Structure 1
Amino acid sequence: MSDNGYFDSGIPKPPVSRGSQGQKFNVDGNVSPVNGETRRGDYSNDTQSTMQFSPLRPSGQFAGRGTEDSGDSGLGQFEVQHGDGMAKRHGHVGLIVTLVMLLVLVAAAVGGFFAAQSYFSDKAAPGVMFGSRSVAGQSAAQLTQTVKSAVSDSKVEVADNAEQDTKATLKELGVKVDVKATVNALLQAKSSAGALRINPFQRQQVSLVTSTDDSAMSDYLTSTFVKEGERAKASTIAYDKTSQKFTVTAGKEGKAPKLDTVKSAVAKIVANPGTTVSAPISYGSVSMPISEEAAQEAADTANQRIAQSVTINNGDSKSFTIPADVVAGWVDSSSDVAKGTITIQYDSEAMSTYLESTLPKQLDQDAVAQQDIKNAQGTVLTVTTKGVNGVKVTNIATTAQKVLDALNNGSTESIAAQTTVVKYKTESHVADYTKANGDMWIEVDRSKQTVTVYKGSTKVKSFNVCTGKDSTQTDNGTFYVNIKYQTQDMRGTDYLTKGVKWISYFNGGEGFHAAPWNTVGIATGDPVTHGSHGCVNMLTADAQWIYQNAGVGTMVKVIGTQPTGAVR
């Protein structure tokens, strides 16, 4: 502090003003006399006059400045100088907030990009146009409906100078639309653009995928605009179900419409589906558009193709041969009247549709557990039910392509369908033929000409029988019932017996069955005179009992020797 009582802070000391005695000078420069009279700017040289100031607040820095028109000396008010630092801190915070917001926006944009990529992975991309319509976001099923609707709405308005006109559909004009291929083209559109595939500002136009049969177009226009007697017709081919081959219908010379304007109109519709396009036509005198010889050549080619045998297997136990008339339905002939030719190809869409509905029915199979009969030592004695793997046909489109390749290449090898296979399980039964009331088994005693049924060691029932004659004796050995028929025609090299009942086979063609024609042989037990071709002849009721009680897998033991005559 200085000797005059002020802080020595670098601020100039207030000047000593002189005025009249008894006067006070205010900080704003006004004089306040004792007698109440105020005068401005009247300064005297009286050294005893004083000036009063508000005390200063001590601080390290001061930013107080008087305004120019306030009359202040610049020392009456002071402001602590914090403004610049606060501005800097506010500036930094604003920059950080801006950066965070930018990062959030970038993250949202990246997330949105990948979400859009995922969403449109199995749908038409943004910017894909089908005619004048955007199909962005449509699935395969939706696109199929869109394409079919556009095809239905597509028309060619054909008119001639004689004021004849018609609105023709694409099908009537011989234009075949491949809906499946068109949908695939819509789904694959912009796929070469990579990450830019979902850019809605980059557009791609997709047209219908079609093929045109000029002969069909000419036939339709001719039948619509030209009288029957004036028409020129191309020779054609068609499949005849009676003869099961393609035959030729010869054409003739005459008058025919010119196709150029109509084909041009069709091209416009292909590029912009769902529209109606006008096509004026004129006529010309033409020879037979396609000769009978050219048609016969095409028919021969088609007949060679349907003669191929196409077999598909499931890689396990099932296979399926496609009927020739079905293959014939896939043969698609396309006529080019300008060249006078008929070309043969296959309708891949019809092929795929047929295989998708047919292959699962023909080749799928349910798993069947294998049933084994084992002895106590674990040896499998017989398989009563053979195991079957579970098989399910998959990816039929791949199989359809194999079938198409085989038909085009003339291959007759069996085609393996793509399948998933589930291996069958094996279940075992341990048979016990020794304990009382154990597993059933049958003893055939040739010496006694009897059949005895046991359950383990317990005798259940006995029957008189007649076994095979000397030249076809019933074989000795241990066998198992493997298949049964309630009724069957039995035949051999020198016999045929119709309607034989209650048959239980156990050794190839040998089995138990009813033999009502051989009651004498059964009663006497005389296989020498009345013997069979190897089977065990039984009375009808007895054979029925064996059929109903001895299941598949029942053990059969044939013992004894061939008698020389009747044993009873």
Structure 2
Amino acid sequence: MHSDKLPTGPAPEEIDESSALSDRPADTDAAPDTVLKSPYGETPAVARASILAAASAAPTAHTPADAEANAQTQQTAPVEPVVDTAAPVSPSAITPAEPDAAPDAAEASEVAPTETASTPEDGQASPAPAESAPLPPDASESEKRPHRRRRWALASLAAVLLLVGVGGYAYAAHYADVAVPGTTVAGTDVAGMTRNEIVDAINARVQAATVSVTGDVEATASLTDLGTTVDAEATADAVMSRGADVVDRFKALLGGSDIEVVTTSDDAVLEEYASGLVPEDQAKAQNASVVLNTDIAAFEVSASSEGVSVDSADLAAAAAQAASSLSPTSVELTYVNTLPAVSDADAQAVADTANQWISQDVTITNADGTASYTADAATKASWVEVTENLDAAPTLSIDSDQVAEWVSTQAAAANVEPVVGQRNVNSSGQVVATSVEAVAGQTVNNAETITTAITDSLSSGEAYAGAFEMTTGEEQWEEREIADGAENLVYQAAEGEKWIDINLSAKTVTSYEGATVVRGPVTIVDGAAATPTVTGTYHVYLQYETQTMRGQNADGTDYETENVPWISYFYAGYALHGAPWWSSWGFSASHGCLNMPVAEAKWIYDWAEIGTTVVSHY
């Protein structure tokens, strides 16, 4: 009988029967038919073999025929009894017999082999306890399991990394233009706010950051009153710099940061406010100061005085606290009798130094030495900055920006503007006339160096003399090709260009296209001696078929001529027009216009265009 349950205990230990028997002493008292006790009956002899030994000794079926042969062999082969004369054998030491036939792979994995015992009485096999060992795992399965586990581990890790990466990217992108977490300004959380929102929030709090003055005087002062300015823009920049790059944004997660409010202060404004807290009927303590007398361009001393004052240092500290916390604060002030911190003598020494500075000459010459530029006393005095201090004498400095402005003005005067030259060339490219000479431009290139030198010299109480250095450009020319033969005419026209020649000496008008005469010369009547015709180069700018012309005679009386035909104006009220009232020509008698026969005036009207050149000359 076979057991239906697989063994759950440890695998049976392999035993080498030959060595075990040979090592034991022979038991002469034991009967040869000693019976082993078992739960299934008495067995005189039991075949003992290890699983591995049995497996190695068992024939292997490679084909169905081999399997059948092996089965027959196992069925017919007798079991060689082995008698253990030394000690009884426990059921756990009994190894299973070989199966009747080779099971398939599925059966081998599900059914454990059983032990078979034979009895001497009937030769029938009795089932032994099913003491089974776990089958060795399939090699391919054992190799696949670690790979599967590794794949699952890698997939899980990749998923985690992907989630972290996506989350990190979203975090970094979100805080690219807003304040990072953990950021505060004066104790107020600004995380997630844009730069403009931070600026607005700071400015809103500045309005409430006042200083309440108590004690001998009561007042409420704004930060502006106390000369303190909160730079909301700079503070917002400091906030945004905390998350300026990706690394900084992630570092922000490690801890918070309170950004300091950026402020500036003006001691002079503070001192003026503190002085204003003293009643008008009280004498006020006043430091001596240095002031510029613009009437004489010299620095003078404003005298000091003893009197009542309040401690401006306490007021300054309160202003600083209100500005840094962006919240209201208070300060208690008392009136005290004080001596001025800056005496008249201290201030006079500073004024003397300032006057010595502006007494020094400052002169710049142009590159060729043909012109010079000198700063006067008033100009130099405007360069001197006097900085008052609450508890020390004023300090002096030269304002380099003011110096630079003056140097720039002189450099502009020294610069040479370029002039584009104009010259006429014939068809061969030869220059036949130059109407405008070219001038190369020149620009001062050392203005900044001169500014620095002047600032340093005056700050040392020394004069300055220097010269501009110039950068010279190239000459620029415009060339105009003229018609062959036009070089000898009063106007050098291009080939085919229309133009009108008014010869006041000959009293004629001639029309040209290039150097070719297309009409004339036509005899005309020009301006009388009292109202002469203008001379120069002009252009037709207005034309009428007919017009009533009005003007003044030489004696100042008015005249009016109706129905004047074919008018071509070339300058102001001067025109070429028909004059049907004349029967002869070649003299001077008009109000300045060129009087022509009506037919000739019409021809000019029809031929000339707006812009046609008109040259009037003697």
Which category of TM-score, normalised to the shorter sequence, fits these structures?
A: 0.3 to 0.5
Task: Give the TM-score normalised by structure 2.
Answer: 0.45
Larger Rg: 2
